[in-house]
């Protein structure tokens, strides 16, 4: 059992706009260094970089199950996996977490967990090539989405968001995610 747990969070946003650059003339003795007119995305001068600061949030020292993270610790031994609770336990036949840390998804919504505690913190990263959608109301609507490689994280407000209300699926095809979902 952990003494205490916390999560350091960091978000960074960089808005860019397509900017036209003038042609660059010139040459050296051995080769041409000129450039034709070109376009490149540059940081929006009116907005700049947003976020970037780190903040701390507390989560419960004792989580609802070892399945609060999709990862399996490299320090976990087979003999210590003694929670035989059906579905949410940590024995191989009971576990709901993927053993390699990666959860495969299809276009059918699946809950990340079946625990009913208030959600304190959730992090999801899309490892696949297809867009992943996230529901916060038990598979009813999917307001959040993640492009390939993207991640998002959020904390539940008051008692309005429960752990078992977070569902994930793909917009099309299949994908994979890693996640944390904590009380």
Partner 1 sequence: MANEKIKYSNGCSPQELDSTSARWYQDSDVGTKLSGSANVSMGSGTLTYQSSKEITSAESALSSKDFVFVRNISGSDVKISLDNGSNYLVLLSAGESFASELDSSVAAVIISTDGTSTVEYLSGT
Binding footprint of partner 1 on the chain (CB under 8 A)? 2-18, 39, 41, 44, 46-47, 50-51, 53, 55, 57, 59, 61, 63, 66, 68-69, 71, 73-75, 121, 123, 125-126, 133, 136-137, 141-158, 160-161, 178, 180
Smaller CB separation from partner 1, 4 or 29: 4
How far is it, in rounded angstroms, from Cα 155 to Cα 147? 20
- Residue 141's CB is within 10 A of a number of other CB atoms, namely 11
Smaller CB separation from partner 1, 57 or 114: 57
Smaller CB separation from partner 1, 34 or 158: 158
How far is it, in rounded angstroms, from Cα 86 to Cα 80? 17
Q: What angle do CA 80, 83, 86 make, to 5 degrees?
A: 145
How far is it, in rounded angstroms, from Cα 92 to Cα 84? 9
CB of 28 to partner 1, least distance (A): 32
CB of 84 to partner 1, least distance (A): 19
């Amino acid at each position: 059992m952990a003494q205490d747990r916390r999560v350091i969070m960091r978000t960074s946003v960089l808005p860019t706009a397509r900017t036209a650059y003038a042609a660059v003339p010139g040459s050296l003795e051995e080769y041409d260094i000129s450039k034709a007119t070109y376009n490149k995305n540059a940081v929006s001068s009116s907005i700049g970089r947003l976020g970037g600061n780190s903040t701390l949030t507390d989560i419960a020292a004792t989580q609802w199950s070892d399945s609060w993270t999709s990862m399996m610790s490299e320090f976990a031994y087979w003999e210590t996996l003694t929670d035989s609770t059906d579905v949410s336990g940590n024995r191989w036949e009971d576990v709901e977490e993927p053993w390699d840390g990666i959860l495969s998804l299809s276009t059918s919504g699946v809950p990340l967990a079946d625990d009913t505690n208030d959600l304190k913190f959730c992090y999801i990263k899309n490892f696949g090539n297809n867009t992943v959608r996230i529901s916060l109301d038990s598979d009813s609507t999917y307001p959040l989405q993640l492009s390939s490689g993207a991640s998002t994280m959020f904390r539940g407000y008051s008692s309005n968001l429960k752990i078992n209300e977070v569902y994930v699926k793909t917009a099309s095809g299949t994908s994979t995610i890693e996640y944390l979902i904590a009380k």
